[in-house]
Amino acid sequence: MKLYLLATKKLFPSPIVALLGLFLLFSAVPSNFALTSFSNAEASFFSNDLELFEEVIGLVGDRYVYSPDYKKIFIGSIDEMISALTDKNISLENKSSGQSISTFDKNFRNKLSYNRESALKTFKKAYYFLLKKSEGKLSKESLEIAAVTGLMDSLDPYSKFMNADSFNKSIRDTEGKYGGLGMIISMRDNQLHVVKTIKNSPARRAGIQTDDIFKKINGLNIEKKQISELAHELRGQPHTKVSLTLYRPSKKKNYSYTLKREIVLIETVEYQTLKNRVGSIKISSFSKQTNGQLKEALTKAKKDKIQGFILDLRDNPGGLLEQSVKVASHFLHQNSLIVYTQGREQTDRQEYNAQYQNDLHSIPIVILINKYSASAAEIVAGALRDSGNALIVGENSYGKGSVQTIFRTNNGSGIRLTTAKYYTPTGLDITSQGIVPEVHIMRDHILKNSSEVSEQAKVKFLQSTSTSKIKLKGTQINKFIGENHNAVLKTPDPTFAFAKMLIENVSIANKKKTLKKAQDLAANIHY
């Protein structure tokens, strides 16, 4: 079943609700923009001009989390159009009496009021005036895109206009699959490296290895190309072919491959069974594939008779709201509140409860977060923390407490619009501080070679851990590991090491008891 939204007399398909992290808001009232002196700038208001702009302004008016401040919106649009013209002789000046668009020979004053339709009519006058001033250097479409970009940027850091390519990439990321070869790539020392290959992918079956270096794609050298260009060349329609030449440093030899692209499922869940019946679950994002991949991991964990979990949500920027709810559901009592969202109106509240009946809520769990854990990752961490079962270890999370909805526009582009705020089960808005861990671990082991940065990190550490119950430094944990053979772990990661030492000594899902164990372990580390 599809939901259709009616706005500015156009039908919009069902929105894709997503929590797109790292990519807040203000209360405002509608306002208008009245321009007094544009001569003959009306042009044809019955043409197809500015259809996209009207479509977007309709969506913002209907669905934005707060009542839009039209004064701010239209100033943002006009300012962006002026920037797009790159004409030093045209500028927008804001004054207490209004705004004025200045050119080398004229000055137009603008008076603001509080009516959207009147504001839109005045905006059109400004649009046609600037289009005329561009003298053909900028097309109607380019000027309109600038106006929409300025409109969206004026709302909040997460509301954005997306051209067709960006929109399709956003949809692909939330789908969790794409047509390609199944490699994670990274640019290091101006060379494109293979970070890893994805299981059951063409790249893995061909024998491509981690740290292989790209030399050619389809017979062409790739020097001086950006990573985005190269990723675009590797992806494509399923069943199409691409040839690669890669250099393998360990063999000091080039290898050539001709691979056929396939639909590749992005691995968002990595699972590993550790010693002492500890299960490690790393979730890198929340796509449509995440819950299915987690179910596979939990099936393996059950076979291995896991007695405790480490759920690693570090560097997880978020993803789909529905997936965060499903992931959290595995570790909670059925029907427990996971998160609720609140839109512009009081009636725009929606609660999301745990969906599954299972026994994992009785297994102890430690959750790892850092400053890059955002949105959907914060929902999972907040829900499991508020349940009284999970202990949070790491750093304060990013603090993104808003929900974005992706809308496709009629010309194939799209917008990402903030449509609600979300709150943890106890009603916490995490925007200001993020999720605060009970055990805060400063990553000073990364900064140990820089005394200046290390001192800055110490200050930030003390500021951000004011509400954490336990405070440790990464170097303290590493020193403890080095001095205690029983605690030696195959990881240079002190946060993970602390979590593993802790979960090995916890037998019941009870935060108070887990916290007491953490305090005892921290006391030994400090000692």
Catalytic residues: 375, 386, 400
Distance CA(383)–CA(310), nearest Å, equals 16
Tally Cβ neighbours within 10 Å of residue 444.
19
Distance CA(474)–CA(458), nearest Å, equals 12
Output the DSSP codes for 129-198. HHHHHHTTSS-HHHHHHHHHHHHHHTT-TT-EEE-HHHHHHHHHHHHTEEEE--EEEEEETTEEEEEEE-
90 φ, ψ (degrees, to nearest 5): -120, 130
Indicate the pairing of strand 278-283 with strand 308-312. parallel
Distance CA(90)–CA(57), nearest Å, equals 25
Q: Containing H/E element for 127? A: helix 116-134
Residues near 368 by beta carbon (within 8 Å), at least 6 away in sequence: 310, 311, 312, 313, 314, 393, 394, 495, 496, 499
Distance CA(83)–CA(86), nearest Å, equals 5
Distance CA(424)–CA(402), nearest Å, equals 12
Task: Label residue 46 exposed, middle or buried (CB < 10 Å: 0-12, 13-18, 19+).
Answer: exposed
Residue 289 carries which DSSP code? T
Q: How many CA atoms lie within 13 A of 58 on its CB side?
A: 17
- Exposure pattern of 71-110 as b/e (b: 16+ CB <10 Å)? bebbbbbbbbbbebbebeebebeeeeebbbbeeeeeebbb
Residue 362 carries which DSSP code? G
Residue 436 carries which DSSP code? P
Alpha-carbon distances of 275 from 150, 297, 338, 490, rounded to whole Å: 54, 16, 31, 11
DSSP β-bridge partners for residue 10: 7
What does R_g of the chain's alpha carbons equal in angstroms?
Answer: 27
Indicate the pairing of strand 391-394 with strand 439-442. parallel
Residue 349: which of 403, 417, 287, 397 has the closest Cα? Answer: 403
Indicate the pairing of strand 5-7 with strand 10-12. antiparallel
